[in-house]
A and B are shown apart, each in its own frame.
Chain A
């Protein structure tokens, strides 16, 4: 009997869950609420750019994007199966989710390489 390769997707989902849990709340709060709305003093354009350009920042942000996207892909796939009961559309759902995550990862790699 063939053993599934589902575990590989599951471990990416789990890693993504951990990364997203630790990093996203503070980043979302600061970058997309506190700074633009002036609740806290935002970093200047130059200092933010130099911070992002550091190799370690690029690596961390890439890992954040990669794992978070695969976390979304796996969880959303099962939400579509169970929530909307459209498991029979698996031929569309599977590539949409994991393909989407791959595309997002590629975009992240491109941006972070060239920033």
Chain B
């Protein structure tokens, strides 16, 4: 598709086009790009949560002693800091996800497109409900 364009023969009548290189720091150039990259970086914290969860389950399965040590690990200031940052990022992921969901789904009722809020709203509500249910199971135990 682009073979001719990539390497045209430059002659007197076809002088050199200027092709700017995209900088490694392109994502710092605009606020919208930075927000995008932060959103993508949130996936790393999602993976970190899974890793922590597996460590917790492994400690749980080893016995109360190991589980207690794991709790101490969670109280380490660096770990606390990491988890606070992770919490911010996973919430950021959830919010950006629900806000973008209506764009990806063109839901029509009676021939007209429904407002974005009709998709975002139920998502946020479901999020609150699911979180409440999970919290209830963990707090009553």
Instruction: Give the interface of A toward B (CB within 8 A).
Output: 16-18, 20-33, 35-37, 40-41, 43-45, 47-49, 51-52, 61, 64-65, 68-69, 71-72, 75-76, 78-79, 83-85, 104, 107-108, 111-112, 114-115
Contact = CB atoms under 8 A, between A and B. Distances in A.
Interface in B31-46: 37, 40-41, 43-44, 46
Interface size range on B against A: 35 or more
Given A36-B75, A78-B40, A115-B61, A25 B91 contact: yes
Contact of B40 (A16, A18, A75): A75
B93 to A, nearest CB: 6
B57 A85 contact: no
Interface string B15-29: 000000010100100
Nearest to B129: A22
B94 A76 contact: no
B49 A68 contact: yes
Given A25-B94, A45-B67, 14 more contacts: A16-B46, A18-B97, A23-B130, A25-B87, A25-B131, A26-B130, A28-B87, A64-B53, A65-B50, A69-B47, A71-B43, A79-B41, A84-B24, A104-B51
Given A22-B94, A31-B56, A79-B41, A47 B141 contact: yes
B43 A75 contact: yes
A44 to B, nearest CB: 7
B87 A21 contact: no
B80 interface: yes
B43 A21 contact: no
Given A20-B90, A36-B75, A115-B60, A83 B40 contact: yes
Contacts of A41: 139
B114 interface: no
Contacts of B91: 25
A29 B87 contact: yes
Contact of B57 (A22, A35, A61, A76): A61
Contacts of B131: 22, 25-26
A5 B51 CA distance: 28
